[in-house]
Structure 1
Amino acid sequence: MSYAPDAATDADAAIPPARPVAPPTAWDRYQPWRRTAEVASWVLLFAANAVGGTLTTIIDIHRVGLDIPDWAPAIWEGSSCLVALCLVPALVWFTRRVPLRFDTWPRALALHLLGSVVWSMLHVSLMVGLRKLVYAGLGESYDFGSWGLGYVYEYLKDVRSYVYMVLWIEAYRLLMRRWQGEASLLAPPDDLPEPALPERPERFLVRKLGKEFLVAAAEVEWLQASANYVNLHLRGRDYPLRTTMATIEAQLDPARFVRVHRSYMVNLDCVGEIEPLESGDARITMRDGTRIPCSRRYRGALRQERRAA
C-alpha cells in the first residue's frame, strides 16, 4: 500500500512527468566500473611491489652469496603484500573516519600515528603467521627472530608504506571530488549590510574540473550524509558539500526540505510516493525512481509536511 496524500482529490498535487535525464558523462560511465577499477588498482600495485621486491631480494642474495633458496624471497614478499592488500579496506575505512584536513590536522596526525602502529602490528603478525604456514607446508621452519626487535624493524618500513597509502587514498578522493564536482555555499557580498543577508542559501556554488556554476537550492532533489560531506543530488548528479547534515538542515527551507532519515533529507517537490513498511519505517520513491529510506522517527513529520504542501 502506498501513501500519496491528496493525489486523487487535489489536481495541484498530481505528480508531473519525470524530468529528462541528462546524457551520461565520463563520470557516469565510470561509475559502473569504479569499484572494479579501484580494486584492480590496489591488486596491481601490490602485485608489482611483490614481484619487484622478490627480484631485488634474489639479486642481493646472489650478490652476497647467501645460502637462501630463490623461493624464500617470493614467500617473504608475497606474504607481506597479500596481508597488506587484505588490510586496505580497514585503512580506507579509517581514513574516512579521520580525514586529512587543514583545520584538524594535529588531531588527524596523532590518530594516524596511532593507526600506523596498529596497522603495522596487524601486518607483521598476520604476515609471520602466513609465512610459518607456507614454510610448514614445504617441510621447512620459518624463524622471525626476536619479536620485539622484529616489530620495530618492520614498523620503520611499514610507517612509510602507511603514509604512501594514505596519501594515495586522499589524492584519489580529491580527484573524484574534482571530477564529480564539489559544492559550497556562496560567500555573501562584502558590501551587503549584516541585517540584509539572507538566512537561507538560495544557490550553491559548484566547482567542477576548474569550472564554476551556480545551482539553485530549490533544484536539489535530496541530500545524503557521507562522512564529513553532504552530497547534494540533482539531475542525476551528486555534488559533495563539506558540512554536516545538522548544519545544512538548519539552513535549508523547512517548508521544502524535510529530514527523513539520519543520513537523508528530501525535497518535498521531488517526492513521488511513500510506501509504509511493516517495521514502521517507510520507503520513499522519488520522481526519478530513486528509493530513499525513511525511518519511523521522521515518518510522521514527512506525512504532515506532504499534507500541508
Structure 2
Amino acid sequence: MRKIINWYGFEGRLALIFWLGYMAWLVVFCVIHQMVIMDSGVNVVSSILWTLREWGFWMLITPTLVSLLSKTEHYEKPLKAKLHILGAALIVALLYKVAVNLYSGRSDVLATLVSYSPKYLQVLLVISLGWYVLLKGEQVYYANKNPTTEPDSPKNNASRLLVSTGSAEAFIHVQDITAVQAAGNYVDIHTANSSYILRATLKHLLEQLPQAQFVRCHRSAVVNINYVKQLHSFATGKGELELECGRLVPLAKSYRTQFKQSVINTADC
C-alpha cells in the first residue's frame, strides 16, 4: 500500500483527499435533503451508496490519472500524451457508468452517454486545471526551497547531491552520476552501480550540474558524456546512448545536434 501511495505522488495523494472530502460532503448533503426537502426518515446507508455509485469511480482513478499526467511532462509530445490519457479516462468512466446503469436497469446506453458525457468532460477539465496549478506550484516551491547558488552571485555547481536511497538519504558525488531521468516531480539519478531518487525537476537539477559534462539528450533525460560508450542511430532519426555500465538512455531527434556539439566541445577542451 505504501508503494502505491508513493507512486501517486503529491498531486495524486491530494486528489484522493479532495475526492474523499467531496464525497463526505455529498453524503451530508443527501442526509440534509432527506430531512428538509423530502421530509422523510434519514437513511445514511442509501446516501453513502448513492455517492459511491455516482462518484466512487472517479475517486479511484483520479490519483492515477494525475500521476500519469505528471509523467507526460517529460515526453517528447506531452500535450498529445495528455490528450490520450484524458480521452482514455473519459471512455473508461462512461463504460463504467453504462455498465452500472444497465445492471441496475435504470436507463439505456444512449441515455447514459448523452446525460453523463458533458458532466464527465467538466470533471476532466477541473482535474486537469487542478493538476496543472498544483504541479507548477510544487515546482516553484522546491526550486525556491533548495537553491544551489547564492542570490546575485556567479553560479557554482554542486559537488555532491543529497538523494534518497528508498529507506534513507545519502550524499553522492556529482562526478559519479552517469545519467538522470525524469519521473514526474522526481528524478531518477543513476550511477554505475546504483539508482537514487531526488525530488526535483529535471530542469532545476540540470542547472546544478556542470554544463559541459551533463547534456540533455531527451526531454526526460540528461546524460554524463564522460560515461557514453556508443551512440546507436535509428532510421527515424532517434537514437540511444549506451553507457559504459550498459544502461541505454534515449536520444531524441530534437536533441541530437546539441548532444553531438557538446561532445565536440568537450573533446576540444
- TM normalised by structure 2 equals 0.49
Bigger-Rg structure (1/2): 1
**Greater helix content:** 2
- TM normalised by structure 1 equals 0.44
